[in-house]
Structure 1
Amino acid sequence: MKSEHEIQSEIMLALSRADCTIIRTNVGKVRTETGRIFIAGPPKGWPDLTGFRHRDGRLILIEVKNEKGRLRPEQKHFAEFIQRFPVIYGVCRSADDAVKLLEANKCT
């Protein structure tokens, strides 16, 4: 079974070839010199990949899961929230899933 990291990399390559810009959403936690915890990145539930399609500028948000992966409650909440907007959003388990997601969301 492929790891989510491997699937992310394959999706990023496939969507780059499909004339999209895609970046991995990084999240991290560090302790500052003063001992304060600093959390960097978007809020919980934000998808793994963020980008846009060049030809129409539509925002692309992809949650990457391996074949057994399931959405956490905050990811489900985000999915329900974002469906109200004209963005391309989906849960993808492969590069093929991501390409199909783009094809299902033709230019408007």
Structure 2
Amino acid sequence: MTAEHKIQNDIRVAVSRAGNIIFRANVGKVKMDNGGWFDAGLPKGFPDLFGFRKTDGKIFFIECKNETGRLREDQKKFAKAIDQYPVLYGVARSVDDALGIIRGEKNE
């Protein structure tokens, strides 16, 4: 089974080579001096990768999963919320899936 991290990296390379701009969405938690946690980064459910096509500026969001990975509830909520906007969104389990999403082919 392919690790999601490898799928993500392969997608980033292929999407860049295809002439698009792509970013990895980094998030994290930091324990504060008072014992509480500080969440840094994007809201829960935000896709792993995002960017835009250089040809027309159309923005895309790509959630990466391996062959058996499933969306969490917060990821499903993001997908539903973003569906009302004229952006590209999909779940990619491979480079071909990701390039299809960017071409505007519906995915999951």
Under a length normalisation based on structure 2, what TM-score does the superposition of the two structures give?
A: 0.90
| 2:29–2:38 contact (8 Å) kept in structure 1 | yes
SS of equivalent residue, structure 1 residue 14: helix
Q: Which residue of structure 2 aligns with residue 75 of structure 1? A: 75
Q: Which residue of structure 2 aligns with residue 52 of structure 1? A: 52
Q: Which residue of structure 2 aligns with residue 88 of structure 1? A: 88
5 Å-filtered alignment, 1:23-62, equals 23-62=23-62
How far apart are the structure 2 equivalents of 1:78 and 1:87? 13
1:60 Cα deviation from its structure 2 partner = 1.1
For structure 1, the residue ranges without an aligned partner over 5 or more in a row are: none
CA displacement 1:29-52 (0-9 Å, x = unmatched): 012345442110111110000111
| 2:88–2:104 contact (8 Å) kept in structure 1 | no
Q: Which residue of structure 2 aligns with residue 14 of structure 1? A: 14
How far apart are the structure 1 equivalents of 2:65 and 2:95? 11
How far apart are the structure 2 equivalents of 1:63 and 1:98? 9
Identical positions, percent: 53
Under a length normalisation based on structure 1, what TM-score does the superposition of the two structures give?
A: 0.90
Q: Which has the higher contact order (CA 8 A, sep 6+)?
A: 1
Q: Which residue of structure 1 aligns with residue 65 of structure 2? A: 65
How far apart are the structure 2 equivalents of 1:59 and 1:5? 22
For structure 2, the residue ranges without an aligned partner over 5 or more in a row are: none
How far apart are the structure 2 equivalents of 1:100 and 1:29? 33
